[in-house]
Amino acid sequence: MGSTGRPKIGLFAGGIEQYWTECGMDGLPAAMKRDIGRLKKKLERDCEVEYPLFVGNAQDARKAGKAFLAEDVDMVLMYHATYIDDKMTVAMLDEIRGIFSVLFLSQGLSGIPDRIGLIESGTCWGVNSAAQLPGSFMRMWTSFNHGFVFGHMENESAINQIVRYARAARCVKNLRGKRIGFLPHRSAGVPMYDTFPDEARMMGQTGIELCFLYIHDLVEGMKSVTDHEAEVLTEELYRMCDVLEPPREEVSLAARQAIALERLVEVNGIDALAIDMFPGLTPICGMIPCVGMARLIDRGIVVATEGDLSVSVAGLIVKELSGKPVHFWEHLMFDEDKNWILGGHEGGSAGFTMAKSGTRPKLRNTQYIDFGKLPGAPRLGVLPEFITNPGPVTLLTLFRGEGGYEMRIACGESVDTHPREVHFEHTIFKPDVPLNDYFHRINEVGVCHHFALVHAEIGSELKKVAEILGMKLEYLTC
């Protein structure tokens, strides 16, 4: 689930060969290679590093770029071991075809010694070309999106920034081509203008793909599930959960629907499912699909209710960065004294594996009591109820601003407390700022009311993702 493997960095490093071919600095390449090796070793604690050759001229730079492309690196790190002319850097960039690049302004020495030899001094001259390069980018191209890190390689903060860039670059690369399925469309029963998407803009900014699934396909899939398969999953649900209101026949129908939903998602290669339960799907299928949605989340699929494209993509981002399942979450209740917000969504918003350790999930009826006035729907429905695990959490939603989609991030913790009888999966979120500040910030910048919540601290990585995607970012908790 989530990220597979470590991010891969292409290390572009060296300097102009004139220093050792024309200026008598024969010892400079060995000194630079020593420094490059130190940097490579530090990066290899968290990343794979592709370092094809020591670069001394534009031809070498092209070879390095071709190697980075062939090795499918997630990011290129430009380290000026000594002065690198712009022609060399541009030659490399020409070859990598838009792979995100980060400029590391660093040097071979950790400070400024009282006495400096020529070779030692030469390992620091890259500071000059690294300071120059962003200005050259600005003059050559209308816009060139690249990352920037400053600090000596012995500075762990600088190394950590590079690693965060690499993780973010891998996330953005892996986001391209992710397949989001609508089943069958965005919310049709209750118009919610904040969830009305701009599909073309989202595809353009993130590289995701869209497809549409149909209720008919799910109904036919339910017919193909055998009685034995449905019974096996029904027994599993009874072993795993305390079943309260729903009768066994409804649990069995929910199991049958869950199996069919999983198969439909698998056959269509769906990475995120934006599902709308009403007014069509639940009455036509005879069951609200919450058990199946929760099981999909356990399998690493992002699931958004009410056909929400923004949170589908936000969920893919936070899942890729954290490797953890994603909770579809909205604000539902607050406690100003405790600085708590209870949130979640009506069933299928979190995977069963997210239930707080030591507690047992329940299967409940809907929070609306029953479906007595909705012909075709089950009388009670089957919805998981549990509170998620405590610990640090990050919330993300993508808001459609004037210039395209923008990030809204909130950080805080999932409160260690007992489950509430709310008839859905829930997290009690304690933001890092007082509720008064939090909600005033929401009023100031605007949000979509749905969020992707993940049990991880990934705010710094999300900042890098926003930078790489060129998305404006607003924090709700600072």
Note whether 77 and 10 are within 8 A (CB). yes
In the block, residue with structure tokens 């027994």: 235
Q: HSE of 166 in the Cβ direction (CA atoms, 13 Å)?
A: 27
In 3D, which of 323, 317, 318, 298 has the Cα closest to residue 1?
323
Q: What is the pLDDT of residue 84?
A: 98
Instruction: Calculate the CA 413 to chain-centre distance.
Output: 18
Per-residue pLDDT tens over the stretch 329-338: 999 999 999 9
Contacts of 476 (CB under 8 A, 6+ apart): 395, 408, 409, 410, 431, 438, 441, 442, 445, 447
Q: What is the pLDDT of residue 189?
A: 79
pLDDT at 82 over 90: yes
Please give the share of the chain, as a percent, with pLDDT higher than 70. 99
Per-residue pLDDT tens over the stretch 406-456: 999 999 999 999 999 999 999 999 999 999 999 999 999 999 999 999 999
pLDDT at 27 over 80: yes
Fold of 8-175: Rossmann fold (3.40.50)
pLDDT band at 289 (very low <50, low <70, confident <90, very high): very high
pLDDT band at 3 (very low <50, low <70, confident <90, very high): very low
Query: 8-14 and 48-50 as β-strands: parallel, antiparallel, unpaired?
Result: parallel
pLDDT at 22 over 70: yes
> Alpha helices of 299-423 — where are they, by DSSP H?
309-322
Averaged pLDDT, 398-402? 94
d(CA 136, CA 173): 26
Question: Which residues does residue 37 pair with via DSSP β-bridges, in sequence order?
Answer: none
CA distances (Å), origin 267, targets 218, 261, 282, 322: 12, 10, 21, 26
40 SS3 class: helix
Domain locations in the chain? Answer: 8-175, 179-475
| 197/211: higher pLDDT | 211
| 272/193: higher pLDDT | 272
Q: What is the pLDDT of residue 243?
A: 98
pLDDT at 4 over 60: no
- Please tell me the class of the 179-475 domain: alpha beta
Averaged pLDDT, 100-105? 98
* CA atoms 231, 289, 355, 360: torsion sign: negative
Amino acid at 174: N
Question: Which residues does residue 362 pair with via DSSP β-bridges, in sequence order?
Answer: 242, 385
In 3D, which of 395, 408, 399 has the Cα closest to residue 456?
395
In whole numbers, what is the pLDDT of the chain averaged over residues?
96
Averaged pLDDT, 463-468? 98
pLDDT band at 2 (very low <50, low <70, confident <90, very high): very low
Residue 453: is it exposed, middle or buried by C-beta count within 10 angstroms (0-12/13-18/19+)?
buried
pLDDT at 70 over 60: yes
pLDDT band at 372 (very low <50, low <70, confident <90, very high): confident
Note whether 335 and 375 are within 8 A (CB). no
38, two tokens: 């130190």
Note whether 35 and 43 are within 8 A (CB). no
